[in-house]
């Protein structure tokens, strides 16, 4: 179940136990939230399965209820139904919207369905600015008028027509918003330099199953021919490749042997290649991976939009490489402040030198338990991983970030034999 305990909890991690056993993972966070937003486009009730038990999901449900959609969320069974048979309101409630950045994904579908939207802007983030100028520029090229205020954006499209769009950068959020506006626009939209993450492919395939016309799914050029309505269907969220990569690192880092189920190995081509280059032994099954420790070697890696190495696995990979024999290099190309967790890791004994968006990781560095404050979801996961190999006790703080992206994180690690627990911060501060 989604952990109902307080966001001021901490994780207490005692290092040393190798992880062993089988873990079955969830549907992808970065798909599920967009599939829910796509419910806005559905002329009827959309039924979603494999919805992960993460904290962002109930907030997205609140955003959708706030515009009049009927949302039935059953997290115990990983299901969510969204009834949008009545046209939604175009002004999602600010309170819920500002609690999750993924709520910006409602912009495109609202413009597609109602031809207008007023939505609060997602705040900045510890991993870098989250700009939306590509989303806005695309909507304007499709005929919308856009007014950007300090903390919200208002879009009115008296007519919403197809357009030829080229993104400056394959932005995940911009690609999704523009696709979701274009599926109900008049005429054909060509979106070039589109992002092609597996979660975007999942969204596009679901839209096609609802009746949308989208060509080029999985390629950098999407061609979308607008239709009049999208019909209700049932859809299963694709597996979470970032969660799978995180558990793979956990297994390798602790000298363990873990079978990870509900994975699509093809979505993890580059992470698996880099893990193997680092000496990790990986057996691929149809929808599973078996990850066994080997002697860890240094590797160089560069984060890039898919199919490049995902920025969302960069902190976890850095933790792994602190234990490799030699010097590894990492270049972060997607978010400007994604190395902010490195200071925390350094306090545990990691030897990492940062120069702009490059990092040199020298290993093996024996890690020692300390307090680790994870300022975003992946940093919090990386702190937990570091604790699993550190000598002594690590206390991971600000764990509400981890709750946003990892379903059942602590119970799953415990089931694999990790010595971890979640306790109120007051227990360790006393």
Instruction: Give the residue numbers of the binding site.
Output: 29-30, 101, 312, 334
Rg (CA), the chain: 21
Pairing type for strands 234-236 and 45-49 reads parallel
Please choose, out of 124-132, 246-254, 294-302, 388-396, the segment that lies near ligand UD1 by the rule CB under 6 A.
124-132
357 binds ligand UD1 per the rule CB under 6 A: no
Structure tokens at 18: 């190798």
| Residue 129 burial (C-beta neighbours within 10 Å; 0-12, 13-18, 19+) | exposed
Number of neighbours of residue 146 by Cβ within 10 angstroms: 16
130 binds ligand UD1 per the rule CB under 6 A: yes
The correct pick among 26, 30, 98, 323 for binding ligand UD1 (CB under 6 A) is: 30
Number of neighbours of residue 33 by Cβ within 10 angstroms: 27
Which strands sit side by side in the sheet containing 371-373, from one edge to the other?
A: 371-373, 393-397, 9-14, 419-424
Number of neighbours of residue 371 by Cβ within 10 angstroms: 15
Nearer of residues 83 and 176 to ligand UD1, judged by Cβ: 176
Q: Smallest distance from the beta carbon of 19 to ligand UD1, in angstroms?
A: 24
| Residue 322 burial (C-beta neighbours within 10 Å; 0-12, 13-18, 19+) | buried
Q: Which of residues 309-348 bind ligand UD1 (CB under 6 A)?
A: 311-312, 334-335
Contact residues for 196 (Cβ-Cβ < 8 A; gap 6+): 170, 175, 218, 219, 220, 305, 306, 307
The correct pick among 172, 183, 282, 370 for binding ligand UD1 (CB under 6 A) is: 172
Size of the site for ligand UD1 (CB under 6 A): 21
Please choose, out of 9-17, 19-27, 171-179, 418-426, the segment that lies near ligand UD1 by the rule CB under 6 A.
171-179
Residue with tokens 């390798």: 252
Please choose, out of 7-15, 42-50, 129-137, 151-159, the segment that lies near ligand UD1 by the rule CB under 6 A.
129-137
Using Cβ positions, the residue closest to ligand UD1 within the complex turns out to be 173
Gap between the Cα atoms of 410 and 255, Å rounded: 19
126 binds ligand UD1 per the rule CB under 6 A: no
128 binds ligand UD1 per the rule CB under 6 A: yes
Q: Smallest distance from the beta carbon of 221 to ligand UD1, in angstroms?
A: 17
Q: Smallest distance from the beta carbon of 366 to ligand UD1, in angstroms?
A: 30
Structure tokens at 371: 């307090």
The correct pick among 109, 173, 239, 271 for binding ligand UD1 (CB under 6 A) is: 173
Q: Which of residues 210-229 bind ligand UD1 (CB under 6 A)?
A: none
Nearer of residues 169 and 276 to ligand UD1, judged by Cβ: 169
Positions annotated as catalytic residues are 125
362 binds ligand UD1 per the rule CB under 6 A: no
Region for residue 99 given its phi and psi (left: phi exceeds 0; alpha: psi -120 to 50; beta: otherwise):
alpha
The correct pick among 53, 91, 99, 135 for binding ligand UD1 (CB under 6 A) is: 135
Residue 216 DSSP code: -
Please choose, out of 3-11, 71-79, 172-180, 381-389, the segment that lies near ligand UD1 by the rule CB under 6 A.
172-180
Q: Which positions lie near ligand UD1, rule CB under 6 A?
A: 30, 33, 102, 128-135, 169, 171-174, 195, 311-312, 334-335
């Amino acid at each position: 179940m989604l952990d109902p305990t307080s966001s001021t909890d901490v994780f207490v991690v005692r290092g040393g136990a190798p992880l062993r056993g089988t873990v079955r993972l969830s549907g992808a966070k970065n798909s599920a939230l967009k599939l829910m937003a796509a419910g806005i486009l559905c002329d009827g009730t959309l039924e979603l399965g494999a919805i992960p038990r993460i904290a962002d999901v109930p907030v997205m449900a609140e955003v959708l209820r706030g515009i009049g959609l009927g949302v039935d969320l059953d997290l115990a069974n990983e299901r969510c139904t969204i009834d949008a048979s009545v046209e939604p309101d175009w002004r999602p409630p600010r309170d819920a919207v500002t609690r999750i950045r993924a709520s910006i994904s409602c912009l495109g579908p609202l413009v597609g369905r109602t031809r207008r939207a007023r939505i609060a802007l997602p705040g900045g983030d510890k991993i870098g600015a989250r700009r939306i100028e590509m989303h806005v520029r695309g909507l304007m090229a499709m005929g919308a008028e856009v007014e950007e205020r300090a903390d919200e954006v208002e879009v009115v499209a008296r007519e919403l027509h197809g357009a030829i769009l080229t993104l400056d950068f394959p932005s995940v959020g911009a690609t999704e918003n523009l696709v979701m506006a274009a599926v109900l626009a008049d005429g054909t939209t060509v979106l070039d330099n589109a992002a092609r993450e597996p979660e975007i492919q999942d969204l596009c395939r679901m839209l096609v199953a609802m009746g949308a016309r989208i060509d080029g799914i999985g390629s950098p050029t999407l061609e979308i021919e607008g239709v009049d309505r999208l019909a209700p269907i049932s859809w299963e969220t694709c597996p979470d490749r970032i969660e799978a990569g995180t558990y793979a690192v956990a297994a390798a880092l602790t000298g363990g042997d873990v079978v990870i189920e509900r994975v699509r190995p093809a979505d993890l081509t580059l992470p698996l290649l880099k893990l193997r280059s680092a000496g990790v032994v990986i057996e691929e099954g149809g929808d599973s991976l078996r990850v066994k420790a080997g002697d860890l070697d240094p590797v160089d890696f560069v984060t890039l939009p898919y199919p490049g190495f995902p920025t969302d696995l960069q902190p976890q990979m850095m933790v792994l490489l602190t234990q490799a024999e030699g010097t590894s290099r990492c270049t972060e190309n997607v978010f400007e402040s994604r190395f902010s967790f490195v200071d925390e890791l350094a306090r545990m004994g990691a030897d990492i030198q940062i120069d702009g968006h490059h990092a040199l990781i020298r290993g093996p560095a024996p890690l020692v338990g300390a307090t680790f404050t994870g300022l975003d979801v992946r940093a919090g996961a990386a702190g937990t991983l570091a604790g699993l190999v550190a000598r002594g006790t690590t206390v991971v703080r600000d764990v509400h970030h981890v709750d946003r992206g990892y379903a059942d994180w602590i119970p799953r690690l415990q089931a694999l034999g990790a010595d971890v627990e979640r306790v109120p911060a007051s227990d360790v501060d006393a």
